[in-house]
Amino acid sequence: MGTPPDPSLALCARDVRKSFQIGGREIEVLHGAHLELKCGERLCLMGASGAGKSTFLHVLGLLEEPTEGEVWLQGKSAWTLSMADRAALRNRHIGFVFQAYYLLPDLSALENVVLPVRIAHSYGSVRFNKSRHEAEAAELLTKFGLGERLRHRPNQLSGGERQRVAVARALILGPEILIADEPTGNLDTGTGERVLDLILDEQRERALSLLLVTHDQRLSRRCDRTLIMEDGQIQADSTVVIPQ
């Protein structure tokens, strides 16, 4: 196990390798990827389709175990922790926004947003109070322009509305890190633009460490840094610092 990284890093990945078993053959998708996400930084990750961006994000988001390598956050090497500790870490410190929203269809928008708080309650890290947390969630949703949609179920919402609910859910517990995998990929340009504005506004307001995967060149210009992933590796020379 390596040494703990600089505490100014919100997230740090070292030499991450990941292979999948496909039809008896082992195929390595990530060939030793590095990443350092500074606190309060907007980091954009780009790359060709199939380059392994999503896979890398899943490893960073503690959803997919790497074959090799380590992921540090909160001063801990996350993949050496027990499964339950890692789940608690994921719950409390990482917000994840997926391309396909991934809301629970049986819960209303409001209930979906409150769900992470309920889960946090089971770890004892938050004391769940239904009226207080629902009010909090309603406030967030109202801010996102969904004040009239609180009791709607996901299938009664448009794509853009669903993604805004998903963003609210990712932020409700106030995580330090927000990981977004092509959050606008399923949306038309106008709608995507608004969702993205909302994410970036929140990032600034909350001083979040944002890791964003996108195919959109214009978007990378709104980030502090852009990394390029190519064939399972972060290109060493790809770091582009774009002044605001």
Partner 1 sequence: MYRRFLSWRYLLRRPINLIGVTGITVGVGALIMIISIMSGFLEESRQTVRGSLADVVVQPTILPRSDGTFVPREAEPLLEALDADPRVAAASPHLTWGAMVTQGGWDAAQTEHRIKDPDRSDLVFAQLVGVDVAREFQATDLRRALEHESEFGSRVDDVEHPFARPASYDGEEPWAWIVVGEQLAQIHDLHKGSVVNLVTAMPDSLTGKAYPSNRKYLVAGTFRTGENEIDASRIYMDRWELSDFLSDQRQYTQVLVKLVDYAAVRDTIEADLGRELHDLGLLNSARSGEVRTWESYRRSLLGAIENERALMGVMLGLIILVAAFTVFAILMMMVTEKRRDIGILTALGATRRSILSIFLMIGMWNALLGSTLGAILGVLGAWRIDQIERWLSSTFHVQIFDRTVYLFDHIPAQVSPLIVVSTVIGALFFTALFSSIPAWLASRTHPIDALRAE
Which chain residues interact with Mg ion by CB under 5 A?
54
Exposure b/e, 163-174, CB count within 10 A at least 16 = b:
bbbbbbbbbbbe
* Binding of residue 98 to partner 1 (CB under 8 A): yes
Shortest Cβ 154–partner 1 spacing (Å): 11
Shortest Cβ 107–partner 1 spacing (Å): 7
Supply the DSSP symbol for 44: E
Cα pseudo-dihedral 132, 179, 222, 240, rounded to 10: 150
* Binding of residue 104 to partner 1 (CB under 8 A): yes
> Which residues touch 108 (CB under 8 Å, ≥6 apart)?
150, 151, 152, 153
* Binding of residue 61 to partner 1 (CB under 8 A): yes
> Which residues touch 96 (CB under 8 Å, ≥6 apart)?
61, 63, 170, 178, 179, 180, 181
Among ligand ATP, Mg ion, partner 1, none, residue 20 binds (CB under 5-8 Å by kind): ligand ATP
In this complex, which beta carbon is closest to Mg ion, that of residue 54 or of residue 203? Answer: 54
In this complex, which beta carbon is closest to ligand ATP, that of residue 56 or of residue 144? Answer: 56
Q: What's at 179, amino acid-wise?
A: I
Q: Binding pattern to ligand ATP, positions 33-72, x when CB under 6 A? A: --------------x-xxxxxxx-----------------
Residues that bind ligand ATP (CB under 6 A): 20, 22, 29, 47, 49-55
